Amino acid sequence: MDAQAELTRRPIAFAGSRLDRADHIRGDPEAVTRLMDRHARLLLLDGLEPRLDADAALVWGTLADAAPDAELVLLGLTEQGHARFVAAPPAGAASVSPPNPRLWQAISEIPAQDLAVYGAARSMAGWHARHRFCAMCGHPTVLAKGGWQRNCTSDSCRSEHFPRTDPVVIMLVEHEGRLLLGRQPRFLAKRFSALAGFLEPGESLEEAVAREVFEEVGLRVGTVTYIASQPWPFPSSLMIGCHADADSTALTIDHNELDDARWFTRAEVVDAMAASERGELGEAFGAPPRHAVAWHLLDWWLKR
Amino acid sequence: MDAQAELTRRPIAFAGSRLDRADHIRGDPEAVTRLMDRHARLLLLDGLEPRLDADAALVWGTLADAAPDAELVLLGLTEQGHARFVAAPPAGAASVSPPNPRLWQAISEIPAQDLAVYGAARSMAGWHARHRFCAMCGHPTVLAKGGWQRNCTSDSCRSEHFPRTDPVVIMLVEHEGRLLLGRQPRFLAKRFSALAGFLEPGESLEEAVAREVFEEVGLRVGTVTYIASQPWPFPSSLMIGCHADADSTALTIDHNELDDARWFTRAEVVDAMAASERGELGEAFGAPPRHAVAWHLLDWWLKR
């Protein structure tokens, strides 16, 4: 079985952008300025939400659409070498608010390429909006390197800051052919998904998987297997999808984290995934949405 | 072949701490205070460098050794339920300077358990030292949740900040049985190691591997396989070790990133790894040090 081949049959949401990130250009301010030409386009956002046309495609304007003092982030170059930018929104709570409910609805309709470009743009624009000041000294920062860095403006500090990406482990836990899935309080009725949590400084991803599973449901896990990853732009995570074998089925659920956690049979997972293809809930539970890496983990589990 | 079993034969440096991170306690300020009892110990650091005893073990003091106004981070609990803390150093460049050369020397001598505890402590202490101000608004921040969070003190902001971990992809690139390794300018003479680079917002780890390889040496890669991960506390990375198949051997080296990159035969890698066991350089090149995840990637490649 080639897990990678299975996974590429249906692209993972927010991955697969074809823009060239053009890392070699970012460090050359004159080259970045030269790219701000008549071929350049600006991704149009409302706060961090995408504007979509009738086909649910992203809407692009020209650089003239940006506010005069807007900070422009070079997202990358098209195959024709034309630059694509996004403007960092002004600082403030509104600009970095959680995703609009309409966005979750729209995600299944936005073309895969556009979704990938939007995800990167949202993460970067949100990072700038949340990092207008230096965490080292409190002085204002300014955009640098085409938007892939911010520099402190204080002469005695001059710290450089880089976009952050938070690794999250998300894992299928298995015991003798049954799969453990959990419900977070915010989930829609009957929905269950893979357990997940942020990786912390000082642990490998295998250790983070074991810690999170123990914290959330009290199980000890053995072998941890990596399956797939996904960039997740709310605000800027790397979802690292794994499979872990548990040594028992006795659960001690942390109800601060989870409403519920249950073991499901293969037949129940088959049914839930088939129902999700019809936009329905399965008999035993509702599968995670297809834009979540958890959907791919379940798909991988059924097909391996 | 069980790659995981091979990897566990020799522990990955900075992983494998047995301290219980006690996540459920962090959010309860009274419980954290109760842990500051006569059983509690404080990791003694000089800046971010470890103090070591004659056996190269970490040196622990009591909480009375901390400055009166020091911010204390709960590293975790021992098996006896005793708390272990580290004090965040004062802000300022000195406290977050790069590792002291003596540390690199000492890493091979520090017991594995101590190295894991030190790595987490260094990442956390460094994070606090670099985040005394709110990146959203520039106001001072204060430690919260036993040191696993900082909160903005401005009533109009109240942002919460979390320790950051930067995912880095590090990869063996293979073509028809030969392995591509590169030299960074800072490497000791004759040393070669796996290519590596930071993952960016908006890309999966497989995409980050492909981008970094193309940027650094101009090769296109196909299947990417995850091998192992390592927490790397300089300052706070997650090294994600992978293998990637390249579609050719023709290199276009980015000399801003690399001094050199070359293809090595299996025999040359065998020789370099054997030489490194004797503390020597191989005929063709010097292997990466054993505390680097790259050493484990080469070990995995030879044994698979």
- Picking from B16, B24, B136, the nearest residue to A133 by CB comes out as B136
Of B136, B206, B254, the CB nearest to A229: B206
The pLDDT tens digits for B53-63 are 999 999 999 99
Chains A–B, number of C-beta pairs less than 8 Å apart: 168
pLDDT of residue B8: 46
Q: Is B230 on the interface with A (CB under 8 A)?
A: yes
Asked whether the predicted pLDDT for residue B191 surpasses 80, the reply is yes
Higher pLDDT, B2 or A123: A123
Q: Chain A 182-221, CB below 8 Å of chain B: which residues?
A: 198-207, 211, 215
Q: Please report which confidence band the pLDDT of residue B90 belongs to, taking 50, 70 and 90 as the band edges.
A: confident
**Shortest alpha-carbon distance between residue A53 and chain B (Å):** 22
Ordered by where they begin, the domains of chain B are 3-161 (no CATH), 166-303 (3.90.79.10)
Q: What is the band of A6 on the pLDDT scale with cuts at 50, 70, 90?
A: very low
| A237 touching B (Cβ < 8 Å) | no
What's the average model confidence in pLDDT over B152-181?
Answer: 97
CB contact under 8 A, B204 and A230: yes
CB B257 within 8 A of CB B211: no
| Mean pLDDT across A82-92 | 89
Q: Is the pLDDT of residue A258 over 70?
A: yes
A83 phi and psi, to 5 degrees? -85, 145
Q: What is the ipTM of this complex?
A: 0.95
- Chain B contact for A119 (CB, 8 A cutoff): yes
Residues of chain A with Cβ-Cβ distance to B215 below 8 Å are: 23-24
The model's pLDDT over B241-294, given as tens digits with 9 standing for 90+, comes to 999 999 999 999 999 999 999 999 999 999 999 999 999 999 999 999 999 999
* pLDDT for the residue numbered B40: 98
User: Residue B1's pLDDT is what?
Assistant: 38
Q: What average pLDDT score do residues A264-292 get?
A: 96
pLDDT tens digits along A238-254: 999 999 999 999 999 99
Determine if the pTM surpasses 0.90. yes
Q: How far is B199 from chain A (nearest CA, A)?
A: 8
Inter-chain touch A204–B15, beta carbons under 8 Å = yes
- Quote the minimal CA–CA distance from B249 to chain A in Å: 22
Please, is B283 exposed, middle or buried when counting C-beta atoms within 10 Å of its C-beta (0-12, 13-18, 19+)? exposed
Range A286-300 average pLDDT: 96
- Owner of token pair 């070359």: B262
